[in-house]
Homo-oligomer: A and B are copies of this chain.
């Protein structure tokens, strides 16, 4: 029965096309506005009227959703090249919070206007639809990860993703500084922050990475990949 011969691809949903959005071309069809966001300040908050999307030009951010009873979940860490606010399209209000983890620069795209511009610019329409679909696939990737991986594996997978993102933006993929706290990572991975700490310590003890607070160095990419899928940690001869 199970004759799925080739790759069933639920992949990390890499963020392709960092600069897919041609702001120049766009500005001919609608007003676009640059905005600086200070570290810790929101780009938008859940409940505010939905009026615009934001294209991230620089900086790292954190997106989270919350239920009426206070339960919260960090749903992602947007960075350069991503479109903020797509999850709120079709809603009268934003359905998530996005706050800057460091000083950021975003380009504001008023919403109904974007849709109209789409009609004139088929490229834009494709880009928007793509961004939405891409986000959907990424969500499903992490749902799968959270549902099927152990705590250690999730943390390893997270580090892999961060590394891949950094590489895509031209930063070092093997040595970087996490912009988010342990609690943010924990929420994102559906763990407690102590568990994230434990997992990082164990990965370090196994010689796969080194950790110094938020500074991560990936010592062995291959073994990290092994940890992220399937295999549990095996101490390597010191």
* Interfacial residues, chain A to chain B (CB-CB below 8 A): 4-11, 45-47, 65-69, 71-73, 75, 86-91, 93, 95-97, 115, 118-119, 122, 125-126, 128-130, 132-137, 139-144, 146-149, 187, 190, 229-230
A146–B144 contact, CB under 8 A? no
| CB contact under 8 A between A129 and B89, given known A73-B144, A136-B135, A136-B136 | yes
A89–B8 contact, CB under 8 A? no
A65–B10 contact, CB under 8 A? yes
CB < 8 Å: which of B6, B118, B130, B132 contacts A136? B132
| CB contact under 8 A between A144 and B65, given known A115-B129, A129-B132 | yes
Choose among A68, A89, A91, A136 the residue with the greatest number of B CB atoms under 10 Å from its CB.
A136
Chain B residues near A141 (CB, 8 Å)? 65
CA distance A230 to B134 in the complex (A): 32
A47–B136 contact, CB under 8 A? no
A8–B46 contact, CB under 8 A? yes
A139–B128 contact, CB under 8 A? no
Chain B residues near A230 (CB, 8 Å)? 69
CB < 8 Å: which of B5, B8, B88, B137 contacts A68? B8
Chain B residues near A71 (CB, 8 Å)? 144, 148-149
Chain B residues near A67 (CB, 8 Å)? 8, 10, 144, 148, 229
| CB contact under 8 A between A190 and B147, given known A9-B68, A129-B129, A140-B139 | yes
A227 to chain B, nearest CB (A): 13
Chain B residues near A69 (CB, 8 Å)? 229-230
